[in-house]
Amino acid sequence: MLTRKQHELICFIQDRLSESGVSPSFEEMKEALELKSKSGVHRLISALEERGYLRRLPNRARALEVLKAPERPDAKRTPAPAPSRRAAPEPANDVIEIPLHGRIAAGVPIEAFEGSTSLPVPAALLGAGEHFALEVAGDSMVEAGILDGDYALIRRQEVARDGEIVVALIEDSEATLKYFRREGAMIRLDPANRSYDPQRYAPAQVRVQGKLAGILRRYD
């Protein structure tokens, strides 16, 4: 499902291509969606590419191709060149709801993904791809600036490079947040706290669930 801004942008691009055959410029897209900077447009386009709605054509300036038409409330309505400028302005810092899968240990592994609700996250904290959040429990990642009670924002992926902070699922039952490293034939999960020891597992025991994309912290 697309966010409101993603839906507005793909509709705007499709309408402009239907009218003139030329993609709108980044400046036109920024103004149409009432964003403060072109970086917001880049993020939206990347997200639409990731979801298979849009493709950038190589070696051509301002060349975008709509691969999948967005759903519209009224398919018979006349395409408009841009969302109405009279509508109440939306915050430039879009908020996205991502799944919140309970608590994850930053110390000793605990049972993975207890429950599932959602967490509102500023879109600026996320890049392309599918994301979920986990509440951090424990202090073994404090030297990486990850504290007990923080929300770890995780980009879902199944591979990792040495030195990346990942969510590792151990023996399909316990999850932990650690630095990922290969050590010979073993996988080593390193804490960021000198009080904790590294954890070593056979590769078959560990499945990478995602890579840390950011941290969200609440101050009460």
What positions carry a catalytic annotation?
Answer: 140, 178
Which residues, at least 6 apart from 213, have a Cβ–Cβ distance to it below 8 Å? 125, 126, 127, 131, 153, 154, 155
3-state secondary structure 131-172: EEEEEEECCCCHHHCCCCCCEEEEEECCCCCCCCEEEEEECC
Tokens of 188: 């080593």
Tokens of 100: 């919140």
Provide the 10 A C-beta neighbour count for residue 72: 12
Can you tell me the distance from the alpha carbon of 121 to that of 197, in angstroms, rounded to the nearest whole number? 32
Block residue for tokens 């080593």: 188
